[in-house]
Amino acid sequence: MACDNASPFETSEMLASFVASTPLLDSTWRICSHANAVAPRGYVVEVAGGVGYLAFSGVQVVGGSDSELCDPKWGSMVPLDAASNGLFSALKSPVEEEEGEERPVMVHAGFLQLFLDFYGNCNFQDQMTLLERSNCKSIVITGHSIGAAAAALTSLWLLCRSSSSSSSSIPLLCITFGSPLLGNSALSKAILRERWVGSFCHVVSKHDIIPRLLFAPPSAHILSLLHLCHFGTNSIPEEALFSYVLSCAGKAAEEVEGLSESDGLCFTPLGTYVFCSEEGGICLDNGASVVKMMHLLFSRSCPRQSTEDHFKYGEYIGKLLLQFLKRRELQGEEGGLGLNGSTYDAGVSLALQSSGIDRQEMVLGSARDCLEMARQNGSTRNLNSAHLAVRLSKITPNRAQIEWYKALCDGSEEQLGYYDTFRQMRTAKREHAVNMSRVVLATFWNGMVGMWERNELPIDFHRRSKWVNASQSYKLLVEPLDIADYYRMEKHREKGHYIENGRERRYRVFDRWWRERRGGEKSGSNRKNFASLPQDSCFWARVEEAKESVEMAKKETEPMKLSAVLGRISDFEKYVGGLIDSKEVSRDVLFANSSYSKWLQEWTALKPRFQQLIDS
């Protein structure tokens, strides 16, 4: 290996060092420990240093009965969206697995019920509202043991809620200590899809059994151990039970390596993991590497250590910064890990030492393989990004053809405009060529979104100006053609209107990228000339809905229904008026024969008939 080869393992150790070197981790554990002491079965809220903290106690009861915790049904998984009455709507879409099968997002039934019990409490709702409306620069949700599961679900709920809001939200971070696993692989992939991986930081000690416990299928024995730990009881598991959990963790590690088959129903890690030991810590965000590292570190444990470690997070965090600040004398040290002058080997050695794995241990080779897995994933992301840039340049002719077509429509004496010309397919051969370019572009952008959702691109990909601007430009240019095709083929009669029933996911993703980049600001407020394209890419879909509303108004005789229809038309009038005043539409919107102009003519003639109802 070349000496100048960049090593991500050094970065993983440095990232863990950075997390530990800030006051955040220490402050979070302090508040979390305080919640364990003073708020059993509850939580505490605190604001310190401009950060708002919500800490769930590790002592919790689910369903009002302690006996329910040992019921295997309590340990099963349930569909997240259906079981929570839509509180997690952003995660309701099934996730496609590698074999092409779609799986719903599922979570631990008992943990979800615990969150719902909190959510149903008015005081909890009030506390969350106060926290969000405070002057905090960020919010940290935390918890230990079962309280960590409640913290993770609360964070997911807040992230889902903010994703459906057009306004910018307070940055949120979930930090857990000794958290049990929460849901299936579909949940982990959905969080990757939503780009929320960086919002979850799970601190796991090298021997703690609780984060590994749910690799084993739910049973009375497994849940009994979880029951004891969640009440703060330092109970030593039987040797057979410990060995069973270790065996199940090993099977999970084999599944992520493709050495055995998975049914997709197992509990899976999500987010970023900080593995801590007395020697330091490392960060991993690759799910397969996390599973393998959880098994490797646990294989060096014993029944007593497996529960003792669950209650030693205060010690580990107290030592973490001190250990990182110590000079690491790796070279020339007797029994050291060996560097051989390579930054790659140095990075591996540093990461292995931080995880507490010694050179003499039998698991050393497997640990290196685990870190190599994470390394390959990181380097592949950058390569994928570079390849995408090349492919983007290759589809430039297709985009140019559509831009040429738009310019042709804008200059036509027919005064139809870009949208209506394509909707009517006036020249079959010309529109067919444009349609083929539209399909080529859609294929590229769908592929890119798929890679982004599978975490195959750099973590900040969706914040890079090149891709945010390119996706926004594509959306404004091509989505009007998608809308035209949707209504020309009369798909709305079968599926419903485009915005709710026909809009491709890629456009919703690009909406979010653009909104997050601009911080919720409104664009184009100081325009002197009309935009080249409507700045609302769904503008023509709204026109189509308004056309149907006018037709409904003509036929409706029931006063209440008619009033609702007229209200929608009035809202659309105000909306378009604002766009025109701010010049956020293109000039072809106002062409004499455009769909909007014809709608306006018809509604202007019809409006006096309903004026009394409108005024009232």
Q: Could you list the active site residues? A: 145, 208, 310
- Residue 383, number of CB atoms within 10 A of its CB: 10
Angstrom distances, CA of residue 381 to CA of 217, 270, 435: 34, 19, 32
Strands 138-144, 172-177: pairing kind: parallel
Neighbour order of strands in the sheet with 43-48:
43-48, 51-56, 138-144, 172-177, 200-205, 272-277, 280-284
Inter-axis angle of helices 417-424 and 465-488, nearest 10: 50
Q: Residue 73 and residue 46: Cα distance in Å, rounded?
A: 35
Token pair in block for residue 225? 């151990």
Beta-bridge partners for 138 = 51
Contact 285, 269 (CB under 8 A): no
Q: Residue 51 and residue 35: Cα distance in Å, rounded?
A: 17
Q: What residue spans of 341-427 are helical by DSSP H?
A: 343-355, 364-394, 396-410, 417-424
- Residue 121, number of CB atoms within 10 A of its CB: 12
3-state secondary structure of 248: helix
- Buried b or exposed e, range 229-244, using 16+ CB within 10 angstroms: bbbbeeebbeeebbeb
The DSSP result for 166-226, as a single string, is SS----EEEEEESPPP-B-HHHHHHHHHTT-GGGEEEEEESS-SHHHHTTSPP-HHHHHHH
Contact 82, 181 (CB under 8 A): no
Beta-bridge partners for 53 = 46, 140
Contact 140, 28 (CB under 8 A): yes
Q: Which amino acid is at 33?
A: S
- Residue 137, number of CB atoms within 10 A of its CB: 11
Contact 15, 283 (CB under 8 A): yes
Quickly tell me which residue has 């889902």 as its tokens.
160
Token pair in block for residue 370? 């685990």
Token pair in block for residue 539? 């503008």
Contact 560, 616 (CB under 8 A): no
- Buried b or exposed e, range 505-540, using 16+ CB within 10 angstroms: ebbebbbebbbbbeeeeeeeeeeeebbebbbbbbbb
Contact 190, 268 (CB under 8 A): no
Strands 272-277, 280-284: pairing kind: antiparallel
1 membership: H or E segment, kind and range: none
Contact 182, 261 (CB under 8 A): no
Beta-bridge partners for 96 = 102
